[in-house]
């Protein structure tokens, strides 16, 4: 009886972890694509505080770094899902964007 509960819990945890992993990959891909568009010049302006301004070369470089960090995180998540490692990586990515 207890073994059944343990097996069900393990299977549920594995399913939940896989769903979280897939959702995280999807969200990171979205960040990568947006940052790539900004870095690559496909997006010419950016809105900050309700004002639209043209992106400078320095800002495009910053978005390139963001895209690279997102790609690095996608690689990490693809290899395995270490929650603490992902949390640290997302904090680093957040610092780049702010």
pLDDT in tens, 1-44: 777 777 787 788 778 888 888 999 999 999 999 999 999 988 88
Which pLDDT score is estimated for 57?
92
C-alpha 95, offset from chain centre: 13
| C-alpha pair distances (Å), 93 with each of 12, 37, 54 | 30, 17, 23
Residue range 63-89: mean pLDDT, rounded: 89
Write the CB contacts of 32 (distance below 8 Å, at least 6 apart in sequence): 67, 70, 71, 74
């Amino acid at each position: 009886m207890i073994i059944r509960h343990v097996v069900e819990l393990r299977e549920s945890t594995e399913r939940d972890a896989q769903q979280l992993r897939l959702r995280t990959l999807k969200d990171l891909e979205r960040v990568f694509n947006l940052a790539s568009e900004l870095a690559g010049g496909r997006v010419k302006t950016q809105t900050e505080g309700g004002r639209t301004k043209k992106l400078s070369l320095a800002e495009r470089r910053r978005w390139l770094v963001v895209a690279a960090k997102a790609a690095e995180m996608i690689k990490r998540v693809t290899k395995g899902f270490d929650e603490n490692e992902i949390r640290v990586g997302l904090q680093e990515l957040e610092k780049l964007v702010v």
